[in-house]
Amino acid sequence: MLQTVTTIFLLIMMIWIMCLIFYCLIHAIRASTITDRIVANNMIDTMVILVIGLLAIYMKEGYLMDIAIIYAMISFLAIVVLCKVYIVVWKKDKK
């Protein structure tokens, strides 16, 4: 019984987070400023990491947690690079 409830809960949470990812994707496309797009991208990356973690629990596969950690590191580096590029462009436009 508890196994069934846990499975249903995990599936519902994954579906809900996927809907939120879709909403953030729409927000990233329609955003008026680059900072809004960077924040939406960061939110999408965070939710993808969460979905991978939930999938690891659902499938009882430990290697998916390793994939989630690697994805988190790559996501962090991508956001840092995007922010650095944005700062350089912003300083150039300000002059």
- Tens of pLDDT, residue by residue, the chain (95 residues): 888 999 999 999 999 999 999 999 999 999 988 889 999 999 999 999 999 999 999 999 999 999 999 999 999 999 999 999 988 887 887 77
Nearest to residue 46, comparing CAs of 10, 16, 15, 76? Answer: 76
pLDDT at site 65: 95
pLDDT at site 92: 80
Check: CB of residue 24 under 8 Å from CB of residue 43: yes
Q: How far apart are CA 8 and CA 58, in angstroms?
A: 10
pLDDT at site 28: 93
Q: How far apart are CA 50 and CA 65, in angstroms?
A: 10
Q: How far apart are CA 34 and CA 26, in angstroms?
A: 14
Q: Where are the alpha helices (DSSP H) in 31-61?
A: 34-59
pLDDT at site 68: 95
